[in-house]
Amino acid sequence: MTTTSGSTTRLTGTPAVHVSGLVKTFPAPRGGTPIEAVRGVDLHIERGEVVALLGPNGAGKTTLLDMVLGFTEPDAGTLAVLGDAPAEAIARGGVSSVMQTGGLLPLLTVGETLDMVADLYGRRDAVARRAGVASLLRRRVSKCSGGEQQRLRFALALLPDPELLLLDEPTTGLDVSGRRAFWDAIRADADSGRTIVFATHYLAEADDIADRIVLLSGGRIVADGTPARIKGTALGRVVRVTLPADDSTDAALRERPDVTAWERHGDVVEIRTSDSDALARHLLTHTGARDLEVTSTALDDAFVALTGSDPS
């Protein structure tokens, strides 16, 4: 679905999204405990960032996006989108969204669907190319695959040339090739400088597409950083070196405060550390270590460590 109106005005200097102390609680079904969907979220997204809101089911991703889009009113906290209240940013054509389902008329062709909205903006062909639907213009929407329909929703969202594009789990239900084609189009668009914020519970998508991952769990942000940093924050990195056994060197390494786990296999040592830079420097300058390798923990492991949920 696209939320548009008017022509796009670019305001520079203000962040794409600025959220402080945001809270949203839903009344309990049948009088039970109220559901605290979003519990005091602070989030600052600069223009041009590609941000994944990653989290397990019920983490609060959709509720947060709905508040940014003005669909849901927060109970507490402040929220500015492109420097304005959400409704004003949307009314200026500054914000568009791509939802999982709905918003398409099955009997129209892809071209007719775009024409309905494109008359307002006159950008149909450029947008169709950018979203990867230029070769589908004569195909009926009902004959398009799930992935093609999602790229059409993306094309509709691009028509007003929004500064900020929000996507709520846009590839749910798509097969691997549909997902890949969709994200190729999004990534190419992001490279043109648009701010993109998407919710997902697919770790691989967050890792591949986003410059920054905001990890949500139980309505709170539990980690925020580059994919590499999230992996490092959660479980540290693993430093592997060739280092012939020596009791006093081994003991000194084990006692370092940044070392959280240690395994020796012959001359090769694997050390898990919260500060791989410092440990690597020490190994190379104060011991006879060689063939040093630093590896990140898999994002799956970080996800489990930080949210307590298995990635789906």
Ligand X SMILES: Nc1ncnc2c1ncn2[C@@H]1O[C@H](COP(=O)(O)OP(=O)(O)OP(=O)(O)O)[C@@H](O)[C@H]1O
Segment contacting ligand X by CB under 6 A, of 61-69, 153-161, 243-251, 256-264: 61-69
Query: Which listed residue (124, 130, 153, 201) binds ligand X by CB under 6 A?
Result: 201
Q: For 182, phi and psi rounded to 5 degrees?
A: -60, -50
Using the rule CB under 6 A, give the single segment among 60-68, 202-210, 225-233, 270-278 that binds ligand X.
Answer: 60-68
CB nearer to ligand X: give 62 or 296: 62
Q: Which of residues 139-198 bind ligand X (CB under 6 A)?
A: none
For 64, counting Cβ atoms within 10 Å of its Cβ (0-12 exposed, 13-18 middle, 19+ buried), the class is buried
Our finding on whether 60 is near ligand X (CB under 6 A) is: yes
CA distance 108 to 248: 75
Q: How far is the CB of 93 from ligand X (least distance, A)?
A: 26
Q: Kindly indicate which of the ranges 52-60, 86-94, 96-104, 297-305 contains the residues binding ligand X, using the contact rule CB under 6 A.
A: 52-60
Helix 146-158 with 110-121: angle, nearest 10 deg:
10
Structural tokens at position 200? 């997902």
CB 183 within 8 A of CB 191: no
The piece of 6-14, 54-62, 175-183, 184-192 that touches ligand X (CB under 6 A) is 54-62
Rounded Cα gap, residues 89 and 78, in angstroms: 15
Specify the DSSP class assigned to residue 109: B
Tell me whether residue 84 or residue 224 sits nearer to ligand X (CB atom).
224
Q: Of 73 and 246, which CB lies nearer to ligand X in the complex structure?
A: 73
The SS3 assignment for 83 reads coil
For residues 239 and 259, give the distance between their C-alpha atoms in angstroms, rounded to a whole number.
10
Toward ligand X, which CB reaches closer, 34 or 106? Answer: 34
Are 56 and 307 in contact, with CB atoms under 8 Å apart? yes
Closest separation in Å from C-beta 213 to ligand X = 14
Binding residues for ligand X, rule CB under 6 A, total 12
For 214, list phi and psi in degrees, rounded to 5.
-105, 110
Distance CA(302)–CA(291), nearest Å, equals 26
Site string for ligand X, 15-44 (x = CB under 6 A): -----------x--------x-x-------
Q: Does 61 bind ligand X (CB under 6 A)?
A: yes
Task: List, in sequence order, every residue forming a beta bridge with 38; answer none if it has no partner.
Answer: 24
Per-residue binding string, ligand X, 63-102, x by CB under 6 A, is x---------------------------------------
**Cα–Cα nearest to 124, from 138, 134, 135, 109:** 134
Q: Which stretch binds ligand X (CB under 6 A): 50-58, 127-135, 235-243, 284-292?
A: 50-58
Closest distance to ligand X from the beta carbon of 59 (Å):
4
Residue 238: enclosing H or E segment and its boundaries?
Answer: strand 237-242
Judged by CB under 6 A, which stretch of 3-11, 59-67, 205-213, 278-286 contacts ligand X? 59-67
CA 271 to CA 279: how far, in whole Å? 9
What residues line the site for ligand X (CB under 6 A)? 26, 35, 37, 55, 57-63, 201
